[in-house]
Amino acid sequence: MVKAVVGANWGDEGKGKITDMLAQNADVVVRFQGGANAGHTIKNRYGKFALHTLPSGVFNENTVNIIGNGVALNIPILMKELEDIVSKGVPKPVILISERAQIIMPYHIKFDEYEEERLGGRSFGSTKSGIAPFYSDKFAKIGFQVSDLWDSEKALMQKIESVSVQKNVLLEHLYHKSAIDPEETFATLMKYKEMIAPYVCDVSSFLYDALKADKTILLEGQLGTLKDCDHGIYPMVTSSNTIAAYGAVGCGIPPYEIKQIISVVKAYSSSVGAGEFVSEIHDEEAADELRRRGGDGGEYGATTGRPRRMGWFDCVATHYGCRLQGTTDVAFTVLDVLGYLDEIPVCVGYEIDGKVTKEFPVTRLLRCAKPVYETLPGWNCDISGIREYEKLPENCRKYIEFIEKHIGYPITMISNGPARDDIIYRRSPLNK
The binding site for ligand GDP (CB under 6 A) comprises: 7, 11-17, 39-41, 43, 295-296, 302, 333-334, 336-337, 415-418, 422
CB closer to ligand GDP, 40 vs 110: 40
Task: Specify the length of the chain in residues.
Answer: 432
Report, in Å, the least distance between residue 19 CB and ligand GDP: 8
CB closer to ligand GDP, 11 vs 130: 11
DSSP 8-class letter at 180: P
Between CA 282 and CA 359 the distance in angstroms is 23
**Strand blocks (E) in 279-366:** 309-311, 313-314, 329-333, 343-352, 355-357
Q: Is the dihedral of CA 74, 79, 82, 87 positive or negative?
A: negative
Report, in Å, the least distance between residue 377 CB and ligand GDP: 21
CB closer to ligand GDP, 190 vs 381: 381
Active site residues: 12, 40
Q: Is the dihedral of CA 127, 128, 129, 130 positive or negative?
A: positive
Which residues are CB-neighbours of 240 under 8 A, at least 6 positions away? 33, 34, 70, 72, 131, 135, 229, 246
Which residues are CB-neighbours of 158 under 8 A, at least 6 positions away? none
Report, in Å, the least distance between residue 300 CB and ligand GDP: 9
Q: Is the dihedral of CA 249, 255, 258, 263 positive or negative?
A: positive
CB closer to ligand GDP, 146 vs 290: 290
Between CA 170 and CA 173 the distance in angstroms is 5
Strand partners, 49: 42
Which residues are CB-neighbours of 171 under 8 A, at least 6 positions away? 114, 177, 178, 179, 180
Q: What is the DSSP string of 74-139?
A: -HHHHHHHHHHHHHTTPPPPEEEEETTPEEPPHHHHHHHHHHHHHHGGG-----SSSHHHHHHHHH
Strand partners, 219: 4, 30
CB closer to ligand GDP, 188 vs 415: 415
Report, in Å, the least distance between residue 308 CB and ligand GDP: 8
CB closer to ligand GDP, 171 vs 310: 310
Report, in Å, the least distance between residue 9 CB and ligand GDP: 9
CB closer to ligand GDP, 263 vs 416: 416
Q: CB-side exposure of 391: number of CA atoms within 13 Å? A: 12
Q: How far is CA 212 from CA 38, 99, 103, 215, in A?
A: 33, 21, 30, 8
Report, in Å, the least distance between residue 164 CB and ligand GDP: 35
Report, in Å, the least distance between residue 209 CB and ligand GDP: 29
From the list 48, 49, 53, 82, the residue with the least C-alpha distance to 68 is 53
